[in-house]
Amino acid sequence: MAMAELIPSSSSSLYTKTTSLQYSSQLSNVLSPRLSNQRRVCLKPRNSTIVCSVTSKEVQAPVSVKTEDPKKKPECYGVFCLTYDLKAEEETKSWKKLINIAVSGAAGMISNHLLFKLASGEVFGPDQPIALKLLGSERSLQALEGVAMELEDSLFPLLREVSIGIDPYEVFQDVEWALLIGAKPRGPGMERAGLLDINGQIFAEQGKALNAVASRNVKVMVVGNPCNTNALICLKNAPDIPAKNFHALTRLDENRAKCQLALKAGVFYDKVSNVTIWGNHSTTQVPDFLNAKIDGLPVKEVIKDTKWLEEEFTQKVQTRGGVLIKKWGRSSAASTAVSIVDAIRSLVTPTPEGDWFSTGVYTAGNPYGIAEDIVFSMPCRSKGDGDYELVKDVIFDDYLWNRIKKTEAELLAEKKCVAHLTGEGIAVCDLPGDTMLPGEM
């Protein structure tokens, strides 16, 4: 356990790394000004004879984007700046109303897979036109244009708008979904506390922006790590949006757990159901084999090797990302994107009878006795309306519960460590040293 003392000793190497965590939340707000105050970028449409006009809410008569407050929305891109009558298409094609989807870290590799899946219709369905709002950094702005160009060249019929920007207050305007993928990687020698602070500031800022400009029922999926606590920071900074709408992605862990159980049982992965990932997306995560089923039977009735279940299974799930990095030379962008698609589809399509899915959600009023006021991965079901309910009929034994308490303790410690970002006072960091999943950052 690496421990940042409440009153750091000047002789500790941790000192310089952790003092920055000891700001009050008020001071922190002063120190992390809005990105938009630093620089505002306006991209010129490449064909200047074409004007931007379509808003997300309704189709208007063509107007030039120049007549609008340029600070209010990000810039459209290329062919997506064109004026068209979507309402007419909604009628002729029986399309649903356009939805706005923001993706942060949009120039990164996970997004490079995800954006094309969103645009192809495989996530929200073949009758759901979408607008993609790409959030990047100043450094990635050219790359964002490259992504937008590739989206243009892909001719996806359902992709009606693409805009790019670096200010979350612009990019998150009216979004119904915010997929927050961008996060800073842990630098050499950086403690987990330092990572929590750096990324926490990003997610505090994005929470504020969502609170200010997003749809009042926006669904937020936090992928950037450490995702549970980033999601907590984000929702605390967005008090006007239901806390229930924020998710931390643990679906890749669930998918990996299903695959490993299938391998061990010698069945195809579609036979494995009811797998819960409990807790934090870190090495303390708890892949639950007690409630999981194979071909409708409890896993323990199919896999008799208790030692494997208790000792090897969890480790196999946790180390998967690291193994993959060694083999493939980069982190698992494609399967992460697939798991984001799975996570969204689980919320917009009804959960199959008797099954459930895992997602990190706010613990207010959970039936399991898990600490309140953290973001904790738990088993959920959805009617397909974007909302979810927690599954009640799960069982616990000592093994499972003890491990749940351990991941809960970690999340409570992380929460104390980001108190300056959640408006809850002075940060105190007492964290396990290295519970980041290998290959995840």
Q: Are 42 and 75 in contact (CB under 8 A)?
A: yes
* 263 near a second copy (CB under 8 A): yes
* 440 near a second copy (CB under 8 A): no
* 49 near a second copy (CB under 8 A): yes
Q: Are 386 and 346 in contact (CB under 8 A)?
A: no
Query: In the set 338, 348, 371, 412, which binds a second copy (CB under 8 A)?
Result: 338
* 267 near a second copy (CB under 8 A): yes
Residue with tokens 């500031």: 201
The smaller minimum CB distance to a second copy, of residues 32 and 120, is found at: 120
Tokens matching residue 20: 């920055």
Query: In the set 20, 112, 137, 319, which binds a second copy (CB under 8 A)?
Result: 112
The smaller minimum CB distance to a second copy, of residues 74 and 108, is found at: 108
Dist. CA 300–CA 329, nearest whole Å: 35
Count of residues engaged in binding a second copy, rule: CB under 8 A: 58
* 2 near a second copy (CB under 8 A): no
Query: In the set 320, 381, 415, 420, which binds a second copy (CB under 8 A)?
Result: 320
User: Least distance to a second copy from the beta carbon of 341, Å?
Assistant: 9
User: How many other C-beta atoms are found inside a 10 Å radius of the C-beta of residue 189?
Assistant: 8
Q: Are 154 and 170 in contact (CB under 8 A)?
A: no
Binding segment for a second copy (CB under 8 A), chosen from 11-19, 218-226, 262-270, 409-417, is: 262-270
* 41 near a second copy (CB under 8 A): no
* 114 near a second copy (CB under 8 A): no
Tokens matching residue 228: 């549970």
User: Least distance to a second copy from the beta carbon of 78, Å?
Assistant: 6
Dist. CA 148–CA 256, nearest whole Å: 31
* 266 near a second copy (CB under 8 A): yes
User: Least distance to a second copy from the beta carbon of 153, Å?
Assistant: 4
* 122 near a second copy (CB under 8 A): yes
User: Least distance to a second copy from the beta carbon of 274, Å?
Assistant: 14
* 120 near a second copy (CB under 8 A): yes
* 323 near a second copy (CB under 8 A): yes
The smaller minimum CB distance to a second copy, of residues 83 and 349, is found at: 83
Active site residue 420: no
The smaller minimum CB distance to a second copy, of residues 329 and 365, is found at: 329
Dist. CA 55–CA 83, nearest whole Å: 10
User: Least distance to a second copy from the beta carbon of 386, Å?
Assistant: 22
Binding to a second copy (CB under 8 A) within 67-106 occurs at 78-79, 82-84
The smaller minimum CB distance to a second copy, of residues 110 and 411, is found at: 110
The smaller minimum CB distance to a second copy, of residues 164 and 180, is found at: 164
* 47 near a second copy (CB under 8 A): yes
The smaller minimum CB distance to a second copy, of residues 190 and 333, is found at: 333
Burial of 392 (0-12, 13-18, 19+ CB in 10 A): exposed
Binding to a second copy (CB under 8 A) within 133-172 occurs at 142-143, 145-147, 149-157, 160
- Residue of 34, 72, 39 lying closest to 56 (CA atoms): 72
* 55 near a second copy (CB under 8 A): no
Which residues are part of the catalytic machinery? Answer: 281
Which parts of this chain interact with a second copy (CB under 8 A)? 46-47, 49-50, 78-79, 82-84, 107, 112-113, 116, 120, 122, 142-143, 145-147, 149-157, 160, 252, 255-256, 258-259, 262-264, 266-270, 320, 323-324, 326-329, 332-335, 337-339, 342
